[in-house]
Amino acid sequence: MERPVTFTSCAQQIMGVLHLPERKPQTTFPTIAMLHGFTGHKAEAHRLFVHVARALCQQGFVVLRFDFRGSGDSAGEFEDMTASQEVSDTIAAIDFLEHQPEVDASKIGVIGLSLGGRIAVLTALEEPRIAFLVLYSAFLSTAPPQSDAGHAPLSQENLQCLQNGEAIHYARGYYIKHGFLDELAARVPLNLMGTLKIPTLIVHGNQDETVPVTDAYQGYTLIRDNHPRTHLYLVQGADHTYTLKEDTQEVIEVTKDWLASLSA
């Protein structure tokens, strides 16, 4: 069963979809919150999150897909988005899930795509209720403060606008403020995640042109000895969002197999 849900983060409404397995009385399920990427939404590119969520629900997981504040159908403005805000939204999602009768609160994990993977790591570093992580194409490194995460360097005019507290056009009709770029430089997962002790699956396409595969290698190197179930998996020939059907299916299968191994 799938049902639309709402909850609040910092007094603003968040919109989501909750996927629920068939339930016998008094039974609860392991649960996953899915974190979309930069300029993404709860369905994600080519409905990647929909396909993953439905597959995992069939496997016996409760899955929550939701829009961060300022994205998709949720309240707020995208230009006010920062990593800290999205961490707050993720914690609010966990609070929401804990109160659902179908959820086993001791087995709540997070799947994050791209910037959502970064948010997953940052949240796990401060939120002990997260039991496991799955990182898809996770953006774990830093970007120069004067660069829009890999695009052309920001112009002097844009830099001045940011310094004045104004929003600038970033990409495809989305605007950002200085807080977003400042946090990219200030809160870098590769500088922080070595202390993560929970099982983590890192999935990355080796042809990803948005987030280099070196992010995956470096992140795995930092945490591979912290838990025996931590694993790195490369999807050969895949791009940033696993666009081809066979790549999406490979991501789904490796995720299902890894999650099954946690309870083996």
Instruction: For residue range 48-95, list pLDDT tens digits in order.
Output: 999 999 999 999 999 999 999 999 999 999 999 999 999 999 999 999
Cβ-based neighbours of 14, under 8 Å, separated by 6 or more: 6, 7, 8, 66, 67, 68, 69, 74, 75, 89, 92, 93
CA distance 167 to 159: 10
- Supply the CATH number for residue 11's domain: 3.40.50.1820
Band (24; pLDDT cuts 50, 70, 90): confident
50 burial (CB, 10 Å; 0-12 / 13-18 / 19+) is: middle
**Packed helices 245-262 and 48-58: angle between N→C axes, nearest 10 degrees:** 40
Tens-digit pLDDT profile for residues 153-176:
578 888 888 888 899 888 778 899
Residue 20 lies in a domain: yes
Of residues 147 and 33, the one with the higher pLDDT is 33
Residue 30 within any structural domain of the chain: yes
Instruction: Provide the residue range defining the domain that includes 242.
Output: 2-141+188-262
- Chain mean position to CA 103: 20
pLDDT tens per residue across span 195-206: 999 999 999 999
Assigned domain for 166 exists: no
- Average pLDDT for residues 141-161, to the nearest whole number? 64
**Orientation angle between helical segments 178-186 and 156-163, nearest 10 degrees:** 90
The rounded percent of the chain whose pLDDT value lies above 70 is: 95
Question: Is 233 among the domain residues?
Answer: yes
How many domains are there within the chain?
Answer: 1
At 95-119, the pLDDT tens digits run 999 999 999 999 999 999 999 999 9
* Total residue count of the chain as it appears in this document: 264
Given a contact cutoff of 8 angstroms between Cβ atoms, the answer to whether 51 and 59 are in contact is no
- Judge whether residue 243 has pLDDT over 50: yes
Question: Would you state the structure tokens that stand for residue 55, as one six-digit string?
Answer: 């597959």
Residue 157 and residue 148 in contact, taking contact as beta carbons nearer than 8 Å: no
- Is 181 domain-assigned? no
- Asked whether residue 158 is assigned to any structural domain, the reply reads no
pTM metric for this prediction:
0.94
**Do the domain assignments include residue 182?**
no
234 in a structural domain: yes
